[in-house]
């Protein structure tokens, strides 16, 4: 490193070293992720050049933000440091920590990419907030001690030859005015990056994996943190709000001049059946035999499907639990950014909880984990439900738990106990139950199924299937069983990140409505969105109400068109028959046709009607939420 100590002034030496370390770590990470993604990419030399060229650009942008503390230090730390030993020690410690952090980030990116097939995004932001669950999950899923020890040893390798070069990084002589000028020039780069660089610049290909590889994980994390809530009219291809709202009212058949309210009339006398709605963590349709799975990991659900209303063409709204909770509870298309469940000001919204409560139901949200996670307890408590989570369970009620919560059997036993209480009080009950077992680290009580605990997703799915059967069988012994409707549906798929940014096939989830004394078994193959669940349930109960839902009763005979909604936290998809409309930040609009069997898409000419329908729902939902039109009077 002699050239560095001779040619580069001490004040800038650390900048150069850090730049080399950061870009080298990013380069190696990109190579590893590229190799991992090869089966899903049709790689060519031009595409490879784009990936690494754009990737280097974003590496530099990410580094520009890392320069901000250094620019501050230039001004704060005097040139003539009285104790050079302190300067050397500080520089070397800082260098060691930075090198370790870059290596640790590379490993973290690989683990994150392995699970979600993306660079850091809004999920990583959430994980940073909920450290208790996430750290426990990591410790239970990976050999953390071995990883940290290995990274520490690897960090020492470059530290020894470079430590001398970083030992004296602030010995140059310059007055405060000159230091301030240098600092200001350095800050120009992150300032320019903030205003002129956008994550959309990574979209270099129709292949989602190539776009992810062209980014930088740290920049992606910062971008997600900044854009956790996106203004639709600012970032998307919006039209005049009045025009959009008028079209939305036409689609929803609403006479409301301001919002979307309309009267829904039951088909007869109200049926005060109890309802237990089980929202199953990550239950993709592909796990069930009915959708082509040949592993036999859902034997009880496969049997139960034959005894239920079995919905085979249902699409999840998003890729996170909060998106499923939002869709089912509020019956609203996914807004860009974070889900409403986590947003401030989400109290007293028009919800399934509010409607059921107004009709005399005893509502409970029952969660196997800690309900502060993703703001679930607060959201449900302020939208018509009473909360029950892991903290409300006694030691005797918990037989097994992991990082995310109690096992599904314990959760369902608590659900049955609460049903007994409501029944004893002569109240119809509505229990919204959210499971946790089908989640990494995939651990559950041993001896329940023939797959060892912690061995992978298949075991977690099969255990959840076992626990659901226990719920049904134990409920059959209760006096309230004959008057109870069981709804089993997923919050989202196990994994929706694929070659395409919105892989339609991977948003398919199953739903079963089981009530042998109330509904007749039937396969329902009509396209359905997750936001249609609440109106469909209310239709089964013949409940009349004034609705502000965006969803509809799937059994309404006046409905002819089939439509659904899918999305990530930024990319929005509107499905209309066999066509897909996608809306992206940067006002980008694309339209495709697709085949249901495999979800493969083909670009099609622009159709103004398709765009207008999509905007009616998405821009309309953003408008009504922003204007607080879907609120419950208090």
Predicted confidence (pLDDT) per residue in 136-161, tens digit = 767 777 788 888 888 888 888 777 66
Question: Which is more confidently placed, 482 or 153?
Answer: 482
My answer on whether 412 and 311 are in the same domain is yes
26-40, 165-179, 389-403, 458-472: lowest mean pLDDT where?
Answer: 165-179
Cα–Cα distance for residue pair 504/508, rounded to 1 Å: 7
Nearest CA-CA partner of 594 in 611, 608, 576, 610 = 576
Token pair, residue 19, equals: 């730049």
Q: Quick check: 203 pLDDT over 50?
A: yes
Give the domain range for residue 290: 274-555
Q: Quick check: 2 pLDDT over 60?
A: no
**Contact 537/544 with Cβ under 8 angstroms?**
no
My answer on whether 64 and 176 are in the same domain is yes
Residue 296 maps to a domain? yes
Residue 269 maps to a domain? no
Q: Quick check: 13 pLDDT over 60?
A: yes
Residue 253 maps to a domain? no
Question: What single-letter DSSP state applies at residue 330?
Answer: H
Q: Distance of CA 354 to CAs 140, 334, 349, 634, Å? A: 39, 20, 8, 11
Q: Quick check: 482 pLDDT over 90?
A: yes
Q: Torsions phi, psi of 429, nearest 5?
A: -120, 150
Q: Residue 171's pLDDT band (boundaries 50, 70, 90)? A: very low
Q: Residue 167's pLDDT band (boundaries 50, 70, 90)? A: low
Token pair, residue 479, equals: 């006096």
Residue 598 maps to a domain? no
Cα–Cα distance for residue pair 176/79, rounded to 1 Å: 9
Q: Where are the beta strands (DSSP E) in 368-436?
A: 386-388, 401-402, 405-406, 429-434
Cα–Cα distance for residue pair 153/148, rounded to 1 Å: 9
Of the three residues 527, 555, 583, the one that is the final residue of a domain is 555
Token pair, residue 223, equals: 């971008």
What pLDDT, on a 0 to 100 scale, did the predictor assign at position 337?
84
Question: What single-letter DSSP state applies at residue 631?
Answer: B
My answer on whether 163 and 283 are in the same domain is no
**Contact 197/61 with Cβ under 8 angstroms?**
yes
My answer on whether 222 and 298 are in the same domain is no
Q: Residue 356's pLDDT band (boundaries 50, 70, 90)? A: very high
Q: Tell me: the pLDDT tens digits for 531-582?
A: 999 999 999 999 999 999 999 999 998 888 899 999 988 889 999 999 999 9
57-66, 68-77, 442-451: lowest mean pLDDT where?
Answer: 68-77
3-12, 210-219, 389-398, 465-474: lowest mean pLDDT where?
Answer: 3-12
Mean pLDDT, to the nearest integer, of 27-52? 88
561: preceding bond cis by omega (within 30 degrees): no
Nearest CA-CA partner of 501 in 563, 590, 577 = 590
Helices 321-330 and 533-540 sit at what angle, rounded to 10 degrees? 40
**Contact 308/501 with Cβ under 8 angstroms?**
no
Mean pLDDT, to the nearest integer, of 350-367? 97
Token pair, residue 373, equals: 């996670």
Of the three residues 226, 259, 291, the one that is the final residue of a domain is 226
Q: Residue 129's pLDDT band (boundaries 50, 70, 90)? A: low
Task: Report the CATH number at residue 365.
Answer: 3.40.720.10
Question: What single-letter DSSP state applies at residue 337?
Answer: B
Mean pLDDT rounded to a whole number for the chain: 87
My answer on whether 281 and 213 are in the same domain is no
My answer on whether 203 and 278 are in the same domain is no
**Contact 212/119 with Cβ under 8 angstroms?**
yes
Other Cβ atoms less than 10 A from the Cβ of 553: the count is 20
My answer on whether 57 and 123 are in the same domain is yes
**Contact 280/438 with Cβ under 8 angstroms?**
yes
**DSSP letters along 8-77, please?**
S-HHHHHHHHHHHHHHHHHHHHHHHHHHHHGGG----HHHHHHHHHHHHHHHHHHHHHHHHHHHHHHHHS
Residue 259 maps to a domain? no
**DSSP letters along 375-432, please?**
GHHHHHHTTT-EEE-GGGS-GGG-S-EETTEE-HHHHHHHHHHHHHHHHHTT--EEEE
What pLDDT, on a 0 to 100 scale, did the predictor assign at position 12?
60
My answer on whether 175 and 288 are in the same domain is no
My answer on whether 219 and 349 are in the same domain is no
My answer on whether 24 and 123 are in the same domain is yes
The total of structural domains in the chain comes to 2
Q: Quick check: 170 pLDDT over 60?
A: no
Residue 318 maps to a domain? yes
My answer on whether 306 and 426 are in the same domain is yes
Cα–Cα distance for residue pair 142/567, rounded to 1 Å: 30
**DSSP letters along 237-290, please?**
----HHHHHHHHHHHHT---SSS--EEE--SSS----EEEEEEETT--GGGSGG
Token pair, residue 520, equals: 């007749």
Of the three residues 526, 555, 584, the one that is the final residue of a domain is 555
Q: Tell me: the pLDDT tens digits for 398-431?
A: 999 998 899 999 999 999 999 999 999 999 999 9
Token pair, residue 467, equals: 């626990």
What pLDDT, on a 0 to 100 scale, did the predictor assign at position 130?
60
Residues in the chain: 634
My answer on whether 489 and 364 are in the same domain is yes
Residue 131 maps to a domain? yes
Q: Tell me: the pLDDT tens digits for 504-523?
A: 988 999 999 999 999 999 99
């Amino acid at each position: 490193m002699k050239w560095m100590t001779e040619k580069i002034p001490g004040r800038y030496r650390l900048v150069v070293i850090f730049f080399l370390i950061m870009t080298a770590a990013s380069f190696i990470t990109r190579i590893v992720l590229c190799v991992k993604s090869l089966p899903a990419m049709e790689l060519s030399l031009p595409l490879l050049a784009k990936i690494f060229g754009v990737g280097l650009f974003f590496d530099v942008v990410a580094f520009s933000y890392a320069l901000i503390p250094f620019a501050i230090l230039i001004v704060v730390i005097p040139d003539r440091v009285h104790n050079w030993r302190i300067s050397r020690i500080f520089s070397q410690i800082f260098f060691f920590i930075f090198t370790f952090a870059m290596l640790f980030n590379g490993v973290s990116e690989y683990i994150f990419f392995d699970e979600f097939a993306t660079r850091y995004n809004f999920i990583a932001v959430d994980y940073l907030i909920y450290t208790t669950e996430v750290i426990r999950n990591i410790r239970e899923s990976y050999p953390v001690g071995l990883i940290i020890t290995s990274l520490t040893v690897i960090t020492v390798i470059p530290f020894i030859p470079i430590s001398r070069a970083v030992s004296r990084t602030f010995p140059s002589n310059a007055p405060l005015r000159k230091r301030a000028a240098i600092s200001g020039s350095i800050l120009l780069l992150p300032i320019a990056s903030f205003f002129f660089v956008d994550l959309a610049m990574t979209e270099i290909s129709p292949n989602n994996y190539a776009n992810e590889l062209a980014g930088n994980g740290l920049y992606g994390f910062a971008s997600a943190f900044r854009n956790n809530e996106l203004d639709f009219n600012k970032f998307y291809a919006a039209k005049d709000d009045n025009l959009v709202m008028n079209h939305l009212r036409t689609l929803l058949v609403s006479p409301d001049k301001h919002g979307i309210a309309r009267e829904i009339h039951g088909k007869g006398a109200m049926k005060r059946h109890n309802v237990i709605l089980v929202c199953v963590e990550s239950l993709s349709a592909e796990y069930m035999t009915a959708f082509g799975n040949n592993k036999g990991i859902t034997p009880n659900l496969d049997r139960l499907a034959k005894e239920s209303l079995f919905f085979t063409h249902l699409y999840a709204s998003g890729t996170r639990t909060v998106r499923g909770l939002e869709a089912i509870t509020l019956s609203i298309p996914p807004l860009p950014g974070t889900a409403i469940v986590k947003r401030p000001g989400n109290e007293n919204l028009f919800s399934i909880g509010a409607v059921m409560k107004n009709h005399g139901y005893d509502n409970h949200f029952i969660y196997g984990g800690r309900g502060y996670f993703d703001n679930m307890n607060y959201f449900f408590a302020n939208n018509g439900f009473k909360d029950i989570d892991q903290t409300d369970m006694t030691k005797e009620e918990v037989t097994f738990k992991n990082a995310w919560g109690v096992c599904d059997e314990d959760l369902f036993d608590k659900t049955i106990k609460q049903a007994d209480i409501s029944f004893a009080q002569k109240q119809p009950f509505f229990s919204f139950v959210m499971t946790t077992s089908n989640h990494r680290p995939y651990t559950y009580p041993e001896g329940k199924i023939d797959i060892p605990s912690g061995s992978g997703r298949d075991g977690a799915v099969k255990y959840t299937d076992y626990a659901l059967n226990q719920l049904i069988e134990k409920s059959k012994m209760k006096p309230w069983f004959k008057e109870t409707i069981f709804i089993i549906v997923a919050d989202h798929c196990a994994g929706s990140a694929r070659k395409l940014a919105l892989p339609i096939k991977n948003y398919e989830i199953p739903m079963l409505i089981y009530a042998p004394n109330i509904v007749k078994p039937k396969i329902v193959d009509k396209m359905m969105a997750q936001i249609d669940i609440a109106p469909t349930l209310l239709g089964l109960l013949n409940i009349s109400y004034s609705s502000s839902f965006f969803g509809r009763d799937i059994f309404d005979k006046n409905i002819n068109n089939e439509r659904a909604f899918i999305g990530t936290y930024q990319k929005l998809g509107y499905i209309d028959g066999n066509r897909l409309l996608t809306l992206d930040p940067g006002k980008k609009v694309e339209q495709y046709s697709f085949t249901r069997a495999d979800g493969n898409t083909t670009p099609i000419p622009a159709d103004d009607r398709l765009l207008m329908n999509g905007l009616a729902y998405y821009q309309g939902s953003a408008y009504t939420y922003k204007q607080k039109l879907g609120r419950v009077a208090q």
